[in-house]
Amino acid sequence: MQSFHLALIPGDGVGQETVPAAVRVLNHVASLSNQVQFSYQTFDWSCQRYVKEGAMMPTDGLDRLRDFDAIILGAVGYPTVPDHVSLWGLLLPIRRTFDQYVNLRPVKLLPGVTSPLRAYETGDIDFVVVRENTEGEYSNMGGRLRIGTPEEVVVQNSIFTRYGTERVMRYAFELARQSRQYLTSATKSNGINYSMPFWDDVFREIGKEYPEIRQDSNHIDALAAYFVTRPESFDVVVASNLFGDILTDLGAAIQGSIGIGPSANINPEKKYPSMFEPIHGSAPDIAGQGVANPIGQIWAGKLMLDHLGLTTLGTLVLQAIESTLIEGIKTRDLGGNDTTETVTDAILRNLTALAGS
């Protein structure tokens, strides 16, 4: 029996509802497999904690997470706390301290889901975005001077290192090699004249190691349009931190709902725990009503299973999600009336059925 110890950080808003749903699914696949078991420790780190105690997590929070096999995060952010405070107090330090330099975000139009792109059907859209997750435009280097005055000056630096850029490109090329042999790089070297020409240089250099892979570089503005006009053409897309962030909300939208998209923050070397979360945020407008779509979180659980080497179980989870959607069991964001709980119940039932077949 293989055992994995998982840290749960439900966080804010709907994270409190979607993380328990994912845990039910993980426990269920574990019991069906008879080969693996999960144990959990839950942390109450959140905006609520910030309001009570003045910090999103304790000062030794990162140390406490270090020895877990993986981290499952719900969502971070609530109207009572400025977003840059809550995110730089929890989510972003985890990504950076644990060197989770790959943020893997599949974009896939699942059966039973209608894309807002009316020409597309199940299977037509199926690609993955590899987002650099530890540097780039998300840097805490910079400052504000003469705040609030007409003379105010603000600087926010972008950081691109050769090491950081090469490794994420290499990861993306390897992924393309296992997939449909096509890698697209998101750039903006026409307008951003240091970091992006550098990004392009590294893409070309690493690309020479992968002559069998078709390689394209698109400016981010055009690429955003291509996500809408020809999403079927993509296989793997590699992007800097901010570009990847924006592209993957667009990706989630074209796959039918932001409530579905999963996100894996991966430290490929497994030196540190990786973290799995949905793409969506805390959705305070619907929090506490039991109507949040649990699929983004559950699909992120599938990515965790894959990362832990339990790919058979990971595949089973995605199949159970698909069966549930085909049955028309959907939350409001997908045009249904079902609750977080009834969708999760259906996924458990489908897991049982799939495992027996």
Shortest distance (Å) from residue 279 CB to ligand IPM: 6
Q: Is 132 in the site for Mn ion (CB under 5 A)?
A: no
Per DSSP, the residues of 141-166 read -EEEESTTSTT-EEEE--B--HHHHH
Nearer to ligand IPM, 252 or 320 (CB): 252
Q: Do residues 213 and 176 make contact, with C-beta atoms less than 8 angstroms apart?
A: yes
Task: Output 258 or 318, the one with its CB closest to ligand IPM.
Answer: 258
Could you tell me the CA-to-CA distances from 67 to 7, 64, 303 in Å, in that order?
Answer: 9, 7, 19
Q: Which residue is nearest to Mn ion (CB)?
A: 245
Partnered with residue 38 across adjacent β-strands are 4
The DSSP output letter for 231 is G
Give the residue with the Cβ less far from Mn ion, 281 or 314.
281
Among 137, 245, 306, 322, binds Mn ion (CB under 5 A): 245
Q: Which residue type is seen at 40?
A: Y
Say if CB 288 and CB 253 are below 8 A apart.
no
Q: How many helices (H) and strands (E) does the chain have?
A: 12, 12
What's the CA gap between 348 and 211, in Å, rounded?
A: 44
Which option in Mn ion, ligand IPM, none does residue 186 bind, with CB closer than 5 to 8 A by kind? none
Interface region with Mn ion, contact rule CB under 5 A, candidates 48-56, 60-68, 245-253, 268-276: 245-253
Nearer to ligand IPM, 242 or 355 (CB): 242
Q: Which is nearer to ligand IPM, 263 or 293 (CB)?
A: 263
Separation between Cα atoms, residue 278 and residue 16, nearest integer Å: 13
132 binds, among ligand IPM, Mn ion, none (CB under 5 to 8 A by kind): none
Nearer to Mn ion, 17 or 277 (CB): 277
Shortest CA distance to 17 belongs to which of 256, 283, 274?
283
CB of 245 to Mn ion, least distance (A): 4
Q: How many residues bind Mn ion (CB under 5 A)?
A: 1
Q: Which residues bind ligand IPM (CB under 6 A)?
A: 87, 91, 245, 263, 279
In angstroms, give the least distance from the CB of 289 to ligand IPM. 22
Smallest distance, Å, CB 241 to Mn ion?
10
CA 156, 173, 266: angle at the middle one, nearest 5? 60
For 186, phi then psi, to 5°, come to -90, 120
Residue nearer to ligand IPM on the CB measure, 87 or 317: 87
How many residues in total does the chain contain? 357
Rg (CA), the chain: 20
CB of 295 to ligand IPM, least distance (A): 17
> Pattern 270-309, binding to Mn ion, x per CB under 5 A?
----------------------------------------
To ligand IPM, the closest distance from the beta carbon of 333 in angstroms equals: 17
Phi, psi of 143 (to 5 degrees): 175, 170
Residues near Mn ion (CB under 5 A): 245
